[in-house]
Amino acid sequence: MTTANNVPTVSLGDELSVSAIGFGAMALTPVYGDVDDVESLATLHRSIDLGVTFIDTANIYGNGDNERLIARLLADRRDEVTLATKFGIAGNPTDRAAGRPRIRGDAAYVRQCLDESLQRLQTDVVDLYYMHRRDTSVPIEETVGAMAELVAAGKVRHLGLSEVTADELRAAVAVHPIAAVQSEWSIWSRDVERNVVPAAVELGVGFVPYSPLGRGFLAGAVRSRADLASANDFRKTMPRFRDDALDANLAVVDAVTSVAEQQGATPAQVALAWLRNRADALGVSSVPIPGTRRAARIAENVGSLAVTLTPEQLDALEAAGAAVSGTRFEDMSWVSAGRE
């Protein structure tokens, strides 16, 4: 089966089918610099035109502004979009600095966030609703139970979980079917391959990799020490850009670029093709959600579906990826690998 412009669809879990490439709308927020809503909306429309119809947002992106932006897309094209949003990262930096919880998973908060998201999105149903981060002070059964009630109420079609451990995923599936786990996964970030991906395979859950181009590397165009000097503060704080790790990680950029030259493809296309191959090798149904502000990049990402890597190229990329240095977050409790 294919979507518009021959982008194939992929079945995740719980009978949810989405376009084989998704769009990560966090890119259309100020976290990476100033944004222009007119340009952002044009990029979203181009995504749908090209068949990239799986759109991923969250209530926290731009403090709700990202959902409001996507509402403008949905106004004319709701039936063409598979819409995912999230809850769980609470408040704003000022609230968190004051000591208020930065993650919430209690049932009342789940219900509150969904109603607020529906209002911002100007729609009556979300296709895929994610728990954005795990609130370890609340049993996951309570959080997923509240999410399941939203499915029963017709406000949500499918459930997802972001950055959960294998055991957390098993506990959640015991409450309600889970369509997808979303976690960082790329040639630079492979910790999910140890436990979470095998659990997803075991349980019939799909996988949605965010930052599939490597946070700050191909996506952020940090391909040398000179590039890092001009990068924004968000990237400079990442452990993988520190002096003791940077050279090893830039070597992966070199390896990806070399394979791209051999393929007549772009480095981003090779990185996405590697991830697709890796997911196939591990037996997990997977749809990455690269984000971009530029409409032309969407066509480039779709082009990755036509890239077939040779065994020799896969070996070279495997060797490069095995040398990645540094953790993907300063506070690893923020992600699944820190709780396994």
Q: Which residues are annotated as catalytic? A: 61
CB 305 within 8 A of CB 327: no
Burial of 104 (0-12, 13-18, 19+ CB in 10 A): buried
Q: Shortest CA distance to 289 belongs to which of 135, 102, 156, 162?
A: 162
Burial of 239 (0-12, 13-18, 19+ CB in 10 A): middle
Burial of 99 (0-12, 13-18, 19+ CB in 10 A): exposed
DSSP β-ladder status, 180-184 and 156-162: parallel
Distance CA 51, CA 47 (A): 6
Q: Shortest CA distance to 71 belongs to which of 123, 126, 127?
A: 123
CB 91 within 8 A of CB 100: yes
Task: Please give the sequence-ordered ranges of beta strands (E in DSSP) within 199-318, or none if there are none.
Answer: 206-210
The C-alpha angle 115, 139, 199, rounded to 5 degrees, equals 95
Distance CA 248, CA 253 (A): 9
